[in-house]
Structure 1
């Protein structure tokens, strides 16, 4: 976990607010419920209830914050301590009674806090959009249709629970927004009877939602514009309101003078029913448009990511054959001269090709593997060049806890041989240094440069591809500087490594 600072930057304050926003909403909703239950009608008692709720919610906030900044088992233990152990102790010793909070209301508050914390985690997981099966399952679970279905079923369950908790609920309106869990369990059959009827009402609301999303928005608004969307919406309100209201009147709970439809009477053409239909359209339209826009943006991002991966593959394929052809030419030259070093050279080439084939297509490899690849390449060049080139090599040793895109570092080294050392008719040199400081890799490659090597000064295909790959992989989080001089070429690369 990162050390806490007494002063937060604006971006850190925004992140803190977003992290705590779900629990703040849960605390406010719990306070509002307490206000309704206790029939509070003035500001001072309402503020007292808000303060009491905030005091009770403090461990929830702390647990949510700490579990977010840790990982694995420690995060699970911190979350469980705040959201499971703490409320169990409170309700077990009836400590909330001293604060004036009944056990049933505390149970609701705990449920709201748990739902807020888990909802935040699931939402972040969905936004990251990893390709794992778990994240894909979460993404499907949090689709707009699934969220609407869950909300409607939850509404039906809450309404049924409130009806069971109230004696003769149809004649004691408005009923208190509280659920007596003991009464629900004792009258579970009655709860199911109420639940099925409210679920039927929820299905009528779902029909309006589906009509709005799949007919009015996706077809009429998308294809014909706002004017025809408004006309179609008005027609839908006029035509479907009496039909759906008539279906709602079929429920057994309805009575002669009190019904469950918005007008609360037996008139499906009552103006309040039309207003209710219009209100559902007005509420769902911006929500649907926001989700549709988010889905469209996600599809665009997926296409962009795929294009980036495709371009990276193409750039890698351009580099690998170039290196292969150069090395095969070296082997060919040694076999013509019947050099005893040819078998060892072939072994080094086999190691290089094995790495290229099996590791070169992966998004990340261990830094130690990339360094071993460079050592094999340099060993091959030592065999081929002999005394023609002096080597000054400094590479990190041992296992490194870092990952790096494969076949990046080799480009600068290969470029040094191709354009600087090989064309030279005099003694040449290569100075290569790779160091790791924190999560930063610093690479310096310096080599002698033949005066006639004009192509090297132009950069060549390899350096152009390297810069493009670095841009695609690291955006602006890298630095590549190439400095040509009359007799030397110096290339400096700095980039961020990924932890294993």
Structure 2
């Protein structure tokens, strides 16, 4: 009578079981002389399996710890992203200015359009993993123009862009913290001669951003506050060993230079 597949499997298993018993028996005989008696060998096997269990438990612990760390890093990144967005007070202050401009200044519509573009970008594009440099540049230009309209003071604001490939992808909301700090700690507190000079360049898969502003010392205590700390953390997570961030503060001048290797 022919054996079916199930019977064949059972037969193979039984043979493997018998062979295993024979091998174990041979091993016991061979090691019996070495250990002097069977009990010593059994103790050796018990110790051996205990070590294996400890090793497996340690490996499982490391895997669980790694998963928890990855989850925590993801949560931290999401939190840092939320905190890296433009200060909500800026939107409220700008909207308050709009009420006074609607009936007496034609630039009100322009401000509303720019503000809506910024809010759209911050909410929708800011959730993406990557955006193009062109999108970041447009966002920065809207922010700079709105701030220039908002303060109504004579100042020297320059934003130079030299980009070879505007389609190069970068982390969203990457430069806005530095720009916002320059306005908040510099131009906002200076009565005259305020300036902010910015330069963004890209070539050979390298992005450089430099920004310099002047300030009054008594208003500069928070220049390196939570925004800059979050930026450093985000850079460390997204561009590990592929970026440099230098800060120079001297003679009432504050300068930041950021370089990123895209590949």
Q: Which has the larger strand fraction?
A: 2
TM-score normalised by structure 2 residue count: 0.76
Match of 2:247 in 1: 482
Distance 1:419 1:353 in 2: 23
Match of 2:61 among 290, 296, 313: 296
Q: TM-score, normalised by structure 1?
A: 0.43
Per-residue deviation, 1:360: 1.7
In structure 2, the partner of 1:311 is: 76
Whole-angstrom CA distance in 2 between matches of 1:471 and 1:290 = 33
Q: Which residue of 1 aligns with 2:173?
A: 407
* Alpha-carbon separation, structure 1, partners of 2:133 and 2:56: 41
Q: Distance in 2 between matches of 1:333 and 1:190?
A: 86
Cα offset, 1:417, TM superposition: 0.7
Higher relative contact order (CA 8 A, sep 6+): 2
Deviation for aligned residue 1:280: 9.6
Secondary structure, in 3 states, of the residue corresponding to 1:483? strand
Which whole-Å CA distance do the structure 1 matches of 2:193 and 2:26 have between them? 95
Report the counterpart of residue 16 of structure 1 in structure 2.
none
**Alignment equivalent of 1:394, drawn from 151, 157, 160:** 160
Aligned residue in 2 for 1:272 = 26
Call closer, same or farther: CA 1:455–1:392 in 2, change over 3 Å.
same
Query: Residue 364 in 1 paired to residue 118 in 2?
Result: no
- Could you tell me which residue of structure 2 aligns to residue 424 of structure 1? 190
Distance 1:359 1:472 in 2: 19
Structure 1: runs of 5+ lacking an equivalent: 1-187, 205-247, 249-259, 265-269
1:332 matched to 2:86: no
Among residues 255, 263, 268, which one is paired with 2:22 in the alignment? 263
Contact 1:261–1:273 at 8 Å: present in 2 too? no
**Larger Rg: 1 or 2?**
1
Query: Judging changes above 3 Å, is the alpha-carbon distance between structure 1 residues 387 and 425 closer, same or farther for their aligned structure 2 residues?
Result: closer
Offset at 1:388? 2.1
- 1:151-191 CA distance string (max 9 Å, x none): xxxxxxxxxxxxxxxxxxxxxxxxxxxxxxxxxxxxx9899
> Which of 11, 14, 25 is residue 197 of structure 1 equivalent to?
11
Displacement of 1:426:
0.9
Question: 2:87 aligned with 1:323, yes or no?
Answer: yes
Q: 1:297 to 1:396 in 2, by over 3 A?
A: farther
**Residues 163 and 203 of structure 2 are in contact (CA less than 8 Å); yes or no, is this contact kept in structure 1?**
no
Superposition map of 1:145-294 within 5 A:
196-201=10-15, 248=18, 260=19, 262-263=21-22, 271-272=25-26, 292-294=57-59
Aligned to 2:207, which of 421, 430, 441?
441
Is residue 2:137 matched to residue 1:344? Answer: no
Give the count of matched residue pairs. Answer: 249
The CA deviation string for residues 94-115 of structure 1, in whole angstroms up to 9 with x for no partner, is: xxxxxxxxxxxxxxxxxxxxxx
Distance 1:484 1:291, change over 3 A: same
CA distance in structure 2 between the partners assigned to 1:418 and 1:378 by the alignment: 12
Q: Deviations over 1:432-475 (max 9, x none)?
A: 1112243332110012323542335x423322222233234334
What is the DSSP-based 3-state SS (H/G/I as helix, E as strand, rest coil) of the residue aligned with 1:369?
helix
Counterpart in 2 of 1:460? Answer: 225
Cα deviation, residue 491, structure 1: 0.9
State the 1:201 CA deviation: 4.9
- 1:374 corresponds to: 140
CA 362–337 in structure 1, closer or farther in 2 if over 3 Å, else same:
closer
- The CA RMSD measured in Å over matched residues stands at 3.7
Shift of 1:387: 6.3
**Alpha-carbon shift at residue 311 of structure 1 (Å):** 1.7
Structure 1 residue 365 displacement after superposition: 2.7
